[in-house]
Every structure is written in structure tokens, then in C-alpha cells.
Amino acid sequence: MTEVKREVFGQMPREEGGGMVERFILKSDSVKVEILSLGCIIAALETKGRDGEFSDVVLGFDTLEGYTRKHPFFGAVVGRVANRIAKGRFTVDGKEYQLFLNNGPNSLHGGARGFDKVLWSPQVLPNGVCFFRLSPDGEEGYPGDLKVWVTYTLSGGELTINYRAQTSKTTPINLTNHAYFNLAGQGSQDIYDHEISIEADSYLPVDDTKIPTGEVAAVQGTGFDLRQPVELGKHLQKFRLDGFDHNFCLQQVQARRLAARARHPPTGRAMEVHTTQPGIQFYTGNNLDGSLKGKGATTYPKHSAFCLETQNWPDAVNKPRFPSALLRPGEEYNHTTWLLFSAA
């Protein structure tokens, strides 16, 4: 059985349009997750270690103020298009669109005021919560009225996130959740003792602005071969990597399949990521720098968390050989990601 509670989390500042932010607490016997109506943010996720003790394994803030200031998308649903669009430009049906540039020369995670920064309308379900919003035609430069539903449900150790969308005009779309995990507990200094594996035979090399070059490269014989579990710290040293911020190419099937696994041997906590999406962005918190005060006044230094963002491939709207990122009127965008937490 899953318990669902709702409570007031805070009030948006007037310059952000005001409005009440609610917190939804989903609780099973092994997982407790807190989700905000602002940005569908996973603000806390407590899961058991092998000692039976709960620990919060996602980065974030204790108060709404932290989330209304600039932060690196902690726990948020990002869109319309997660990840990067080169030069913030794309052409659909012969018309060129220009987006706001918020990541060097590129547009990242939906632009200046993406899905992470807006209030969603919640509906409580027996085992979770469904958030809805209408992204109006032209919002952040994107075409079409886009109706979006993001549903979180919890069953035992499994948190399910379903994304659905319908549009009035052809538009690119790519939705993901940007939770930052540390299975040792949020506030732990690094993730070097985590074991990571990713079920991908290929990945996307990127240019110096993090845009895929268009090549789909085999992982075999490179530091990107994570098909067998690696201890992250040793692996980064061995291959002289500063960290990961790359899309791994998953099997091109629409069905649920295992995408990645993370394990923290000292506590026994493990997390599996299953998805219907064609890609997963593995990011090791390279841009965290200790400047943000998080929950319990802890700081978050570089490499103190990892993200496993299930997604379509970055810049797919400009790369005809990548899986299509376009949603057309009359179609439905529908993808699901499952996060399974366990301890052994």
C-alpha cells in the first residue's frame, strides 16, 4: 500500500506570478518520496540501506526559496526539450524557430523559463500524483499549444514516472527528470565509491559546447564502456576523465528495458533505471562547485551526485539520423521511466 499526503510547501514570489506550491508525500514500506507542484520536482527520496535505516538520496533544498533561485535543475522535470539544441535553432515544416540561448551558444532544458520553473496543476491518485500544464503556443519560442501530464506513482521500491503530451502544432519534445542522486545519502562528499553500469553499446561524442557531433560511437575499448559495473572514482582516474555528461544510446525498442544500474556497496543501496526512451544522459555533477547550500546546510561539491536522465538523444531535432523528437497533432507522446530502489 502507498500512502499519499499533500501539504503546503510555500508561496511563489510575486514577481514569479505568486501561487501556492504544494508538496506531495508518497510513502511505501521501503521508499518515501516528496514531489513539489513547482517543476514536478523530486525534493526528497528516502530509501533503506541494508541496515534498514532510511536516508535521503537526492540533492535539493529544505525551503521553496532554494528552488526559486538559480540552481542546476535539482529534481525537476525539464522541457519542452531536455538537454541541448544547437544554437537554439531548428526548422519544422519549413519554418525556422529561434529559442533563448541559456547554455553558451545553445538552448538547454527548455530555455529561460522551462517546465522546471512553473507551477503545475496536481491531481492526487490512490498511489501517486498526476501533474498537468498547458504550455502555450510560442512559450520559450516553441510552436503549438502543448498539453503535458507527468504522473508519479509509487509501489513498494518502484517509483514510476510517466510523461504524456499532445500538441496543436508539430513541435520537438523531450521530457526527463533531472534528479541528482547520491546513494550514500545527499550531502555525502562524492560518488567515487559508487558502482555504475549502463546497458549501451554506443554513445554520442560531443563538441566543446556539449552538442553531439552526429557520430554514434562504439563504447568498446573506451572509458564509455560501462556495460559491466565500474567503480566510478577508479574508472575516472584510469581513463583520465573529468566526469561524464554524455548520452548513451539504448536499444531502439519502445518496450520497457533496463537502462542503468547504480550501487553503493558500503550501504548496500542500489537503484535500477528502466525506460521506454532511446537514450540516457549520464552526468556526474561536474558543474557542482560547493557554492550551493543544500538540505541540512550541506554543500554540494563537484562529483557529489550523479544523474541518469532518460531521454531522446540531444539535438535530435537537428540530426535527421537520430530518433525523431517531433510530436505532431493527433499523436501522443508517451514515455515511462521506472526507478527501482533496493538494498542488499
Match 532518460 to its residue by C-alpha cell: 310
Q: In this structure, what are the phi and psi dihedrals at residue 239, rounded to the nearest 5 degrees?
A: -100, 10
To the question of whether residue 245 is assigned a binding role by annotation, the answer is yes
Residue 135's DSSP bridge partners are 146
Q: In this structure, what are the phi and psi dihedrals at residue 207, rounded to the nearest 5 degrees?
A: -85, -175
Assign 15 to helix, strand or coil. helix
To the question of whether residue 207 is assigned a binding role by annotation, the answer is no
Contacts of residue 193, Cβ cutoff 8 Å, sequence gap at least 6: 184, 231, 232, 233, 264, 265, 266
Catalytic annotation, residues: 178, 309
Report the b/e string of 129-167 with b at 16+ CB within 10 A: bbbebebeeebbbbbbbbebbbbbbbeebbbbbbbbbbb
To the question of whether residue 113 is assigned a binding role by annotation, the answer is no
- Cα pseudo-dihedral 158, 177, 279, 253, rounded to 10: 50
Contact 30, 47 (CB under 8 A): yes
To the question of whether residue 260 is assigned a binding role by annotation, the answer is no
To the question of whether residue 333 is assigned a binding role by annotation, the answer is no
To the question of whether residue 255 is assigned a binding role by annotation, the answer is no
Type and span of the H or E element at 280: strand 279-283
Q: How far apart are the first and last CA of the chain?
A: 22
Contact 219, 227 (CB under 8 A): yes
Residues annotated within a binding site for beta-D-galactose: 83-84, 178-180, 245
Residues annotated within a binding site: 83-84, 178-180, 245
